[in-house]
Amino acid sequence: MSDAASRTAPVRRIDVRGLARVEGAGSLRVRIGPDGTVEIVEFAIFEPPRFFERLLVGREVREVPDIVARICGICPVAYQLAACGALEAALGIRLTPELGLLRRLLLAAEWIQSHAVHVFLLHAADYLGLDSGFEIPARLPGFVENGLRMKEIGCRLLEVLGGRAVHPVNVAVGGFHRAPDPAAIRGLVPDLEWGRDAALAALDVVSRFATPAFPQDYEGVAVAPATGSLAADAEAGPRIVSTAGLDIPCAAFPTHFVERQVPHSTGLHCLHTDPGATTGGRPYLTGPLARLNLFRDRLPPTARRAADAHVAHPCRDTFQSIRVRLVEIAAAFEEAAGMARACHAAVAPCRIDFTPRVGTGSHAVEAPRGLLWHRYDIDSAGLVTAATIVPPTSQNLARIEADLRAFLPGVLDLPEPEAARRCEHLIRNYDPCISCAAHFLTVAVDRPPAGPCRP
Protein backbone atom coordinates (compact mmCIF):
# COMPACT_ATOMS: atom_id res chain seq x y z
CA MET A 1 0.00 0.00 0.00
CA SER A 2 1.40 3.41 -0.90
CA ASP A 3 1.83 6.10 1.73
CA ALA A 4 -1.00 8.16 0.29
CA ALA A 5 -3.34 5.18 0.27
CA SER A 6 -2.44 4.18 3.80
CA ARG A 7 -3.30 7.64 5.02
CA THR A 8 -6.83 7.47 3.70
CA ALA A 9 -7.70 3.82 4.42
CA PRO A 10 -8.79 2.95 7.95
CA VAL A 11 -6.29 0.95 9.93
CA ARG A 12 -7.32 -2.68 9.99
CA ARG A 13 -4.70 -4.05 12.30
CA ILE A 14 -1.94 -2.67 14.46
CA ASP A 15 0.76 -5.11 15.49
CA VAL A 16 3.69 -4.10 17.59
CA ARG A 17 5.53 -7.38 17.86
CA GLY A 18 8.43 -6.29 19.97
CA LEU A 19 7.48 -3.45 22.23
CA ALA A 20 10.55 -1.24 22.60
CA ARG A 21 11.84 0.77 25.54
CA VAL A 22 10.13 -1.23 28.22
CA GLU A 23 11.65 -3.70 30.66
CA GLY A 24 10.91 -7.17 29.39
CA ALA A 25 9.27 -8.59 26.31
CA GLY A 26 5.75 -7.62 25.31
CA SER A 27 3.63 -7.00 22.28
CA LEU A 28 0.48 -5.20 21.30
CA ARG A 29 -2.24 -6.60 19.07
CA VAL A 30 -5.22 -4.65 17.91
CA ARG A 31 -7.93 -5.55 15.43
CA ILE A 32 -10.37 -3.05 14.07
CA GLY A 33 -13.77 -4.26 12.94
CA PRO A 34 -15.37 -3.41 9.59
CA ASP A 35 -17.38 -0.57 11.15
CA GLY A 36 -14.27 0.90 12.73
CA THR A 37 -14.90 -0.37 16.22
CA VAL A 38 -11.98 -1.68 18.21
CA GLU A 39 -12.47 -5.42 18.46
CA ILE A 40 -9.42 -6.83 20.12
CA VAL A 41 -6.92 -5.05 22.21
CA GLU A 42 -4.25 -7.23 23.68
CA PHE A 43 -1.29 -5.90 25.47
CA ALA A 44 0.39 -9.27 25.50
CA ILE A 45 3.30 -10.46 27.53
CA PHE A 46 5.55 -13.03 25.96
CA GLU A 47 8.17 -12.78 28.59
CA PRO A 48 8.92 -16.43 29.46
CA PRO A 49 7.46 -17.42 32.83
CA ARG A 50 10.02 -18.04 35.55
CA PHE A 51 7.80 -19.43 38.33
CA PHE A 52 9.26 -17.53 41.25
CA GLU A 53 6.42 -18.29 43.62
CA ARG A 54 7.00 -21.98 43.13
CA LEU A 55 10.77 -21.95 43.33
CA LEU A 56 10.66 -20.07 46.64
CA VAL A 57 8.94 -23.05 48.27
CA GLY A 58 11.41 -25.00 50.40
CA ARG A 59 13.91 -22.13 50.63
CA GLU A 60 15.12 -20.82 53.94
CA VAL A 61 13.75 -17.44 55.03
CA ARG A 62 17.15 -15.75 54.93
CA GLU A 63 17.66 -16.77 51.28
CA VAL A 64 14.46 -15.08 50.11
CA PRO A 65 15.73 -11.48 49.62
CA ASP A 66 18.48 -12.68 47.25
CA ILE A 67 16.04 -14.81 45.25
CA VAL A 68 13.17 -12.31 44.83
CA ALA A 69 15.62 -9.58 43.77
CA ARG A 70 16.09 -11.60 40.57
CA ILE A 71 12.47 -11.04 39.59
CA CYS A 72 13.42 -7.56 38.44
CA GLY A 73 16.82 -6.03 37.73
CA ILE A 74 15.26 -2.55 37.58
CA CYS A 75 13.51 -2.58 40.96
CA PRO A 76 15.17 -5.37 43.00
CA VAL A 77 15.07 -3.30 46.21
CA ALA A 78 11.28 -3.07 46.18
CA TYR A 79 11.13 -6.88 45.92
CA GLN A 80 13.67 -7.32 48.70
CA LEU A 81 11.89 -4.89 51.02
CA ALA A 82 8.43 -6.30 50.36
CA ALA A 83 9.74 -9.81 51.05
CA CYS A 84 11.62 -8.72 54.18
CA GLY A 85 8.56 -6.88 55.50
CA ALA A 86 6.31 -9.88 54.97
CA LEU A 87 8.78 -12.34 56.49
CA GLU A 88 9.45 -10.02 59.43
CA ALA A 89 5.70 -9.82 60.04
CA ALA A 90 5.52 -13.62 59.97
CA LEU A 91 8.45 -13.92 62.39
CA GLY A 92 7.31 -11.15 64.72
CA ILE A 93 10.40 -9.01 64.08
CA ARG A 94 10.08 -5.28 64.76
CA LEU A 95 12.68 -3.07 63.16
CA THR A 96 14.24 -0.16 65.02
CA PRO A 97 13.44 3.35 63.70
CA GLU A 98 17.08 3.61 62.54
CA LEU A 99 16.72 0.48 60.40
CA GLY A 100 13.39 1.76 59.05
CA LEU A 101 15.09 4.98 57.99
CA LEU A 102 17.86 3.13 56.14
CA ARG A 103 15.25 1.07 54.31
CA ARG A 104 13.39 4.22 53.22
CA LEU A 105 16.70 5.64 52.05
CA LEU A 106 17.38 2.48 50.06
CA LEU A 107 13.96 2.67 48.41
CA ALA A 108 14.47 6.37 47.63
CA ALA A 109 17.71 5.44 45.85
CA GLU A 110 15.87 2.87 43.75
CA TRP A 111 13.09 5.32 42.85
CA ILE A 112 15.75 7.76 41.68
CA GLN A 113 17.66 5.32 39.47
CA SER A 114 14.59 3.54 38.07
CA HIS A 115 12.65 6.73 37.35
CA ALA A 116 15.74 8.37 35.82
CA VAL A 117 16.22 5.47 33.40
CA HIS A 118 12.59 5.66 32.38
CA VAL A 119 12.28 9.43 32.09
CA PHE A 120 15.55 10.17 30.29
CA LEU A 121 16.42 7.03 28.36
CA LEU A 122 13.05 5.42 27.61
CA HIS A 123 10.18 7.90 27.81
CA ALA A 124 11.36 11.41 26.83
CA ALA A 125 12.12 10.24 23.27
CA ASP A 126 8.37 9.69 22.76
CA TYR A 127 7.61 13.38 23.29
CA LEU A 128 10.45 14.39 20.97
CA GLY A 129 9.57 11.96 18.17
CA LEU A 130 12.90 10.13 18.51
CA ASP A 131 13.77 6.43 18.58
CA SER A 132 15.80 6.44 21.78
CA GLY A 133 17.39 8.46 24.54
CA PHE A 134 20.73 8.16 22.73
CA GLU A 135 19.45 10.62 20.12
CA ILE A 136 18.34 13.28 22.60
CA PRO A 137 21.74 14.94 23.32
CA ALA A 138 21.89 16.21 19.74
CA ARG A 139 18.46 17.81 20.18
CA LEU A 140 18.50 18.89 23.82
CA PRO A 141 22.09 19.27 25.02
CA GLY A 142 22.55 18.48 28.70
CA PHE A 143 19.12 16.97 29.32
CA VAL A 144 20.02 13.28 29.13
CA GLU A 145 23.51 13.91 30.47
CA ASN A 146 22.02 15.38 33.66
CA GLY A 147 19.51 12.55 33.79
CA LEU A 148 22.29 9.98 33.64
CA ARG A 149 24.07 11.79 36.46
CA MET A 150 20.88 11.60 38.56
CA LYS A 151 20.75 7.87 37.83
CA GLU A 152 24.41 7.58 38.76
CA ILE A 153 23.79 9.27 42.13
CA GLY A 154 20.90 6.88 42.79
CA CYS A 155 23.22 3.97 41.97
CA ARG A 156 25.98 5.28 44.26
CA LEU A 157 23.48 5.54 47.13
CA LEU A 158 22.33 1.97 46.40
CA GLU A 159 25.97 0.86 46.49
CA VAL A 160 26.71 2.57 49.79
CA LEU A 161 23.68 0.95 51.41
CA GLY A 162 23.34 -2.32 49.52
CA GLY A 163 26.77 -3.12 48.08
CA ARG A 164 25.72 -2.82 44.45
CA ALA A 165 22.99 -1.12 42.45
CA VAL A 166 21.52 -4.15 40.69
CA HIS A 167 20.66 -6.98 43.10
CA PRO A 168 22.05 -5.45 46.31
CA VAL A 169 23.69 -8.03 48.58
CA ASN A 170 23.30 -6.26 51.91
CA VAL A 171 19.53 -6.50 52.47
CA ALA A 172 18.65 -9.09 55.12
CA VAL A 173 15.54 -10.28 56.89
CA GLY A 174 15.73 -8.25 60.11
CA GLY A 175 17.81 -5.40 58.69
CA PHE A 176 21.17 -5.38 56.93
CA HIS A 177 24.02 -7.90 56.86
CA ARG A 178 26.49 -5.13 57.65
CA ALA A 179 25.82 -1.62 58.94
CA PRO A 180 26.18 0.85 56.06
CA ASP A 181 28.96 3.41 56.54
CA PRO A 182 27.34 6.64 57.84
CA ALA A 183 30.22 8.81 56.60
CA ALA A 184 29.80 7.43 53.07
CA ILE A 185 26.05 8.12 53.25
CA ARG A 186 26.59 11.69 54.49
CA GLY A 187 29.23 12.17 51.80
CA LEU A 188 26.49 11.88 49.19
CA VAL A 189 24.47 14.83 50.58
CA PRO A 190 25.86 17.41 48.12
CA ASP A 191 25.07 15.09 45.20
CA LEU A 192 21.55 14.49 46.55
CA GLU A 193 20.99 18.25 46.82
CA TRP A 194 22.23 18.69 43.25
CA GLY A 195 19.90 15.90 42.15
CA ARG A 196 16.82 17.59 43.56
CA ASP A 197 17.59 20.82 41.71
CA ALA A 198 18.48 18.97 38.52
CA ALA A 199 15.20 17.05 38.65
CA LEU A 200 13.26 20.30 39.07
CA ALA A 201 15.14 21.83 36.11
CA ALA A 202 14.31 18.76 34.00
CA LEU A 203 10.67 19.11 35.07
CA ASP A 204 10.67 22.62 33.57
CA VAL A 205 12.02 21.16 30.32
CA VAL A 206 9.51 18.30 30.00
CA SER A 207 6.65 20.65 30.90
CA ARG A 208 7.37 22.40 27.61
CA PHE A 209 7.12 19.16 25.60
CA ALA A 210 4.10 18.93 23.31
CA THR A 211 1.90 16.48 25.23
CA PRO A 212 -1.26 14.73 24.01
CA ALA A 213 -4.35 15.26 26.16
CA PHE A 214 -5.93 11.98 27.24
CA PRO A 215 -7.85 12.44 30.50
CA GLN A 216 -9.40 9.25 31.91
CA ASP A 217 -11.30 8.37 35.03
CA TYR A 218 -8.86 6.36 37.12
CA GLU A 219 -9.18 4.73 40.49
CA GLY A 220 -5.71 5.09 41.94
CA VAL A 221 -4.49 2.54 44.48
CA ALA A 222 -1.35 2.89 46.60
CA VAL A 223 0.29 1.94 49.88
CA ALA A 224 -0.14 4.69 52.47
CA PRO A 225 3.25 6.00 53.62
CA ALA A 226 3.71 6.03 57.39
CA THR A 227 6.47 8.62 57.21
CA GLY A 228 7.36 10.97 54.38
CA SER A 229 6.14 10.11 50.91
CA LEU A 230 7.92 6.80 50.35
CA ALA A 231 5.92 3.75 51.36
CA ALA A 232 8.69 1.57 52.71
CA ASP A 233 7.98 1.40 56.40
CA ALA A 234 8.38 -2.09 57.68
CA GLU A 235 7.63 -1.10 61.25
CA ALA A 236 3.86 -1.20 61.17
CA GLY A 237 1.44 -3.10 58.98
CA PRO A 238 0.90 -0.77 56.03
CA ARG A 239 -2.54 0.22 54.77
CA ILE A 240 -3.65 0.14 51.16
CA VAL A 241 -5.86 3.03 50.08
CA SER A 242 -7.56 4.21 46.90
CA THR A 243 -8.89 7.43 45.46
CA ALA A 244 -12.35 5.84 45.63
CA GLY A 245 -12.14 5.68 49.40
CA LEU A 246 -10.83 2.16 49.94
CA ASP A 247 -8.75 1.87 53.11
CA ILE A 248 -7.74 -1.67 54.08
CA PRO A 249 -4.94 -3.36 56.01
CA CYS A 250 -2.25 -4.88 53.83
CA ALA A 251 -3.30 -8.44 54.67
CA ALA A 252 -6.80 -7.83 53.23
CA PHE A 253 -5.43 -7.17 49.73
CA PRO A 254 -6.52 -10.56 48.27
CA THR A 255 -10.14 -10.06 49.34
CA HIS A 256 -10.38 -6.81 47.36
CA PHE A 257 -8.10 -7.49 44.41
CA VAL A 258 -8.10 -10.64 42.24
CA GLU A 259 -5.78 -11.86 39.51
CA ARG A 260 -7.30 -13.41 36.42
CA GLN A 261 -5.36 -15.26 33.75
CA VAL A 262 -5.99 -14.37 30.11
CA PRO A 263 -4.98 -16.53 27.15
CA HIS A 264 -2.76 -14.05 25.32
CA SER A 265 -0.35 -13.38 28.10
CA THR A 266 1.91 -14.98 30.69
CA GLY A 267 1.02 -12.06 32.96
CA LEU A 268 -2.14 -12.18 35.01
CA HIS A 269 -4.68 -9.34 35.06
CA CYS A 270 -5.42 -7.85 38.44
CA LEU A 271 -8.86 -6.32 39.09
CA HIS A 272 -10.48 -4.49 41.99
CA THR A 273 -13.56 -6.43 43.09
CA ASP A 274 -16.07 -6.36 45.87
CA PRO A 275 -15.21 -8.79 48.67
CA GLY A 276 -16.76 -12.18 48.00
CA ALA A 277 -17.40 -11.57 44.30
CA THR A 278 -16.30 -14.49 42.12
CA THR A 279 -16.57 -12.74 38.76
CA GLY A 280 -16.15 -9.28 37.34
CA GLY A 281 -14.02 -6.51 38.70
CA ARG A 282 -12.72 -3.22 37.46
CA PRO A 283 -9.32 -2.05 36.28
CA TYR A 284 -7.39 0.31 38.54
CA LEU A 285 -4.23 2.35 38.38
CA THR A 286 -1.13 2.00 40.48
CA GLY A 287 2.11 3.98 40.29
CA PRO A 288 3.15 7.64 40.20
CA LEU A 289 -0.25 9.15 39.27
CA ALA A 290 -2.07 7.15 41.94
CA ARG A 291 0.51 8.17 44.52
CA LEU A 292 0.40 11.84 43.61
CA ASN A 293 -3.39 11.96 43.62
CA LEU A 294 -3.54 10.28 47.02
CA PHE A 295 -0.58 11.82 48.78
CA ARG A 296 0.29 15.12 47.13
CA ASP A 297 0.17 16.78 50.55
CA ARG A 298 2.85 14.41 51.82
CA LEU A 299 5.50 15.56 49.35
CA PRO A 300 8.49 17.43 50.76
CA PRO A 301 8.11 21.22 50.34
CA THR A 302 10.13 21.87 47.18
CA ALA A 303 8.73 18.89 45.30
CA ARG A 304 5.22 19.88 46.46
CA ARG A 305 5.62 23.38 45.00
CA ALA A 306 6.91 21.94 41.73
CA ALA A 307 3.97 19.53 41.56
CA ASP A 308 1.50 22.36 42.12
CA ALA A 309 3.18 24.43 39.40
CA HIS A 310 3.31 21.70 36.74
CA VAL A 311 0.71 18.99 37.43
CA ALA A 312 -3.05 19.47 37.81
CA HIS A 313 -4.80 17.98 40.84
CA PRO A 314 -6.05 15.37 40.48
CA CYS A 315 -3.91 14.26 37.57
CA ARG A 316 -6.01 12.09 35.27
CA ASP A 317 -3.75 11.85 32.24
CA THR A 318 -0.97 9.28 31.99
CA PHE A 319 0.77 11.41 29.33
CA GLN A 320 1.60 13.67 32.32
CA SER A 321 3.36 10.77 34.04
CA ILE A 322 6.79 11.95 32.89
CA ARG A 323 6.23 15.11 34.94
CA VAL A 324 4.99 13.14 37.92
CA ARG A 325 8.08 10.90 37.82
CA LEU A 326 10.30 13.98 37.88
CA VAL A 327 8.32 15.32 40.87
CA GLU A 328 8.97 11.97 42.54
CA ILE A 329 12.67 12.03 41.64
CA ALA A 330 12.92 15.49 43.21
CA ALA A 331 10.97 14.29 46.26
CA ALA A 332 13.14 11.20 46.62
CA PHE A 333 16.32 13.31 46.39
CA GLU A 334 14.92 15.80 48.90
CA GLU A 335 13.88 13.11 51.39
CA ALA A 336 17.10 11.17 50.85
CA ALA A 337 19.21 14.26 51.53
CA GLY A 338 17.31 14.83 54.78
CA MET A 339 17.73 11.22 55.86
CA ALA A 340 21.39 11.12 54.83
CA ARG A 341 22.15 14.21 56.92
CA ALA A 342 20.76 12.36 59.94
CA CYS A 343 23.09 9.35 59.54
CA HIS A 344 25.69 10.03 62.21
CA ALA A 345 26.45 6.64 63.71
CA ALA A 346 26.54 3.16 62.23
CA VAL A 347 23.21 1.47 62.88
CA ALA A 348 23.41 -0.98 65.80
CA PRO A 349 22.29 -3.65 65.80
CA CYS A 350 22.34 -3.80 62.01
CA ARG A 351 20.18 -6.92 62.04
CA ILE A 352 17.47 -8.09 64.45
CA ASP A 353 17.98 -11.77 65.22
CA PHE A 354 15.09 -14.19 64.99
CA THR A 355 14.13 -17.75 65.84
CA PRO A 356 12.22 -19.59 63.11
CA ARG A 357 8.55 -20.18 63.88
CA VAL A 358 5.39 -21.11 62.03
CA GLY A 359 3.79 -17.99 60.63
CA THR A 360 2.18 -16.05 57.83
CA GLY A 361 2.98 -12.49 56.86
CA SER A 362 2.21 -10.02 54.13
CA HIS A 363 3.68 -6.67 53.20
CA ALA A 364 3.36 -4.06 50.50
CA VAL A 365 5.70 -1.34 49.31
CA GLU A 366 5.57 1.15 46.48
CA ALA A 367 7.95 0.00 43.76
CA PRO A 368 8.75 2.79 41.27
CA ARG A 369 5.96 1.41 39.03
CA GLY A 370 3.44 0.99 41.82
CA LEU A 371 2.10 -1.28 44.49
CA LEU A 372 4.01 -4.50 45.12
CA TRP A 373 2.42 -7.05 47.45
CA HIS A 374 4.06 -10.15 48.98
CA ARG A 375 2.75 -12.88 51.26
CA TYR A 376 4.63 -15.87 52.71
CA ASP A 377 3.82 -18.90 54.84
CA ILE A 378 6.76 -20.33 56.76
CA ASP A 379 7.20 -23.49 58.83
CA SER A 380 8.88 -24.18 62.16
CA ALA A 381 12.25 -24.84 60.47
CA GLY A 382 12.18 -21.41 58.82
CA LEU A 383 11.42 -22.76 55.34
CA VAL A 384 8.94 -21.09 52.98
CA THR A 385 5.87 -23.27 52.38
CA ALA A 386 3.91 -20.83 50.16
CA ALA A 387 4.62 -17.51 48.45
CA THR A 388 2.39 -15.02 46.63
CA ILE A 389 3.76 -12.02 44.76
CA VAL A 390 1.60 -9.39 43.04
CA PRO A 391 3.77 -7.01 41.02
CA PRO A 392 2.66 -3.53 39.93
CA THR A 393 2.64 -4.15 36.19
CA SER A 394 0.15 -7.03 36.47
CA GLN A 395 -2.13 -4.63 38.31
CA ASN A 396 -1.82 -2.05 35.55
CA LEU A 397 -2.30 -4.46 32.61
CA ALA A 398 -6.12 -4.31 32.62
CA ARG A 399 -5.94 -0.52 32.96
CA ILE A 400 -3.53 -0.29 30.01
CA GLU A 401 -5.92 -2.30 27.84
CA ALA A 402 -8.85 -0.11 28.91
CA ASP A 403 -6.80 2.97 28.02
CA LEU A 404 -5.95 1.54 24.61
CA ARG A 405 -9.62 0.90 23.84
CA ALA A 406 -10.41 4.53 24.62
CA PHE A 407 -7.33 5.84 22.84
CA LEU A 408 -7.48 3.91 19.56
CA PRO A 409 -10.50 5.59 17.92
CA GLY A 410 -8.53 8.85 18.04
CA VAL A 411 -5.56 7.46 16.10
CA LEU A 412 -7.26 5.16 13.61
CA ASP A 413 -7.01 7.62 10.75
CA LEU A 414 -3.24 7.93 11.07
CA PRO A 415 -0.83 5.84 9.01
CA GLU A 416 -0.26 2.55 10.76
CA PRO A 417 3.32 3.14 11.93
CA GLU A 418 2.29 6.46 13.48
CA ALA A 419 -0.78 4.92 15.13
CA ALA A 420 1.40 2.12 16.50
CA ARG A 421 3.97 4.64 17.76
CA ARG A 422 1.30 6.56 19.67
CA CYS A 423 -0.07 3.39 21.21
CA GLU A 424 3.43 2.46 22.31
CA HIS A 425 3.81 5.89 23.88
CA LEU A 426 0.60 5.31 25.84
CA ILE A 427 1.91 1.96 27.10
CA ARG A 428 5.25 3.49 28.07
CA ASN A 429 3.39 6.08 30.15
CA TYR A 430 2.96 3.23 32.64
CA ASP A 431 6.67 2.31 32.67
CA PRO A 432 5.57 -1.31 32.44
CA CYS A 433 8.03 -3.82 33.82
CA ILE A 434 7.20 -6.91 31.92
CA SER A 435 9.88 -9.04 33.52
CA CYS A 436 8.07 -8.52 36.82
CA ALA A 437 4.62 -9.16 35.47
CA ALA A 438 5.46 -12.52 33.98
CA HIS A 439 5.26 -14.63 37.10
CA PHE A 440 2.79 -14.77 39.86
CA LEU A 441 -0.09 -16.70 41.13
CA THR A 442 -3.39 -17.97 40.19
CA VAL A 443 -6.89 -17.35 41.06
CA ALA A 444 -10.22 -17.33 39.31
CA VAL A 445 -10.52 -17.42 35.54
CA ASP A 446 -13.86 -16.32 34.17
CA ARG A 447 -12.87 -15.63 30.59
CA PRO A 448 -13.10 -18.28 27.87
CA PRO A 449 -10.12 -18.69 25.57
CA ALA A 450 -10.31 -16.16 22.74
CA GLY A 451 -10.71 -17.26 19.14
CA PRO A 452 -8.06 -16.75 16.51
CA CYS A 453 -6.73 -13.22 16.78
CA ARG A 454 -5.82 -12.60 13.19
CA PRO A 455 -8.01 -12.80 10.14
Determine if 174 is a binding residue for other proteins (CB under 8 A). Answer: no
Is 145 or 308 the residue whose CB approaches other proteins more closely? 145
Determine if 51 is a binding residue for other proteins (CB under 8 A). Answer: yes
> What's the closest the beta carbon of residue 165 comes to other proteins, in angstroms?
7
Buried b (16+ CB within 10 A) or exposed e, 399-418: bbbbbbeebbeebbeebbee
Determine if 20 is a binding residue for other proteins (CB under 8 A). Answer: yes
CA atoms of 68 and 381, how far apart (whole Å) = 20
Q: How many CA atoms lie within 13 A of 102 on its CB side?
A: 31
Determine if 137 is a binding residue for other proteins (CB under 8 A). Answer: yes
Binding mask of the shown chain, residues 393 to 432, with x at each position contacting other proteins by CB under 8 A:
----------------------------x--x--------
CB 368 within 8 A of CB 79: no
CA atoms of 386 and 106, how far apart (whole Å) = 27
Determine if 178 is a binding residue for other proteins (CB under 8 A). Answer: yes
Determine if 23 is a binding residue for other proteins (CB under 8 A). Answer: yes
CA distances from 21 to 78, 118, 119, 212, 315 (A): 21, 8, 11, 19, 24
> What's the closest the beta carbon of residue 402 comes to other proteins, in angstroms?
21
Determine if 40 is a binding residue for other proteins (CB under 8 A). Answer: no
> What's the closest the beta carbon of residue 260 comes to other proteins, in angstroms?
8
- CA 286 to chain CA centroid, Å, is 8
Determine if 358 is a binding residue for other proteins (CB under 8 A). Answer: no
The dihedral through the CA atoms of 269, 270, 272, 273 has a sign that is: positive
Q: How many CA atoms lie within 13 A of 120 on its CB side?
A: 26
Determine if 220 is a binding residue for other proteins (CB under 8 A). Answer: no
Nearest C-alpha neighbor of 85 from the set 71, 98, 99, 73? 99
CA atoms of 328 and 91, how far apart (whole Å) = 33
Determine if 134 is a binding residue for other proteins (CB under 8 A). Answer: yes
At 350, is the secondary structure helix, strand, or coil? coil
**Which one among 18, 142, 190, 349 touches other proteins, defined by CB under 8 A?**
18
> What's the closest the beta carbon of residue 389 comes to other proteins, in angstroms?
10
**Which one among 40, 140, 152, 412 touches other proteins, defined by CB under 8 A?**
152
Q: Which stretch binds other proteins (CB under 8 A): 116-124, 226-234, 243-251, 282-290?
A: 116-124
Is 70 or 405 the residue whose CB approaches other proteins more closely? 70
> What's the closest the beta carbon of residue 434 comes to other proteins, in angstroms?
9
CA atoms of 312 and 400, how far apart (whole Å) = 21
**Which one among 32, 42, 47, 103 touches other proteins, defined by CB under 8 A?**
47
